[in-house]
Amino acid sequence: MAKDPDEDVYKKYFCMNTLIKIKEWAKEKSLMKLYDDISRSINEIKMEEKDPLLQIRYSEIE
């Protein structure tokens, strides 16, 4: 059975949304080291993403 490419897109998008929620929580709790680390990771993921659909989605969610 072939793997559904949309499933991978959904999983990556879900993970990015989760990272953003954790980043917001860290900011609320004044956990600035965690906030900075997650922000840096999010930016790296965005820069390394090759899928044009995900690039667009990532730019819309943050």
Report the predicted TM-score, pTM, of the whole model to 2 decimal places.
0.78
Candidates 16, 24, 6; CA nearest to 57 is 16
Distance CA 19, CA 15 (A): 6
CA distances from 61 to 16, 22, 45 (A): 9, 14, 13
Distance CA 43, CA 38 (A): 9
Average pLDDT over residues 33-44: 95
Residue 28 phi/psi, 5-degree rounding, is -60, -35
Tokens of 40: 């840096």
Q: Which residue has the higher pLDDT, 16 or 57?
A: 16
Per-residue pLDDT tens digits for 5-28: 778 888 988 999 999 999 999 999
31, pLDDT greater than 90: yes
Give residue 10's identity as a one-letter amino acid code.
Y
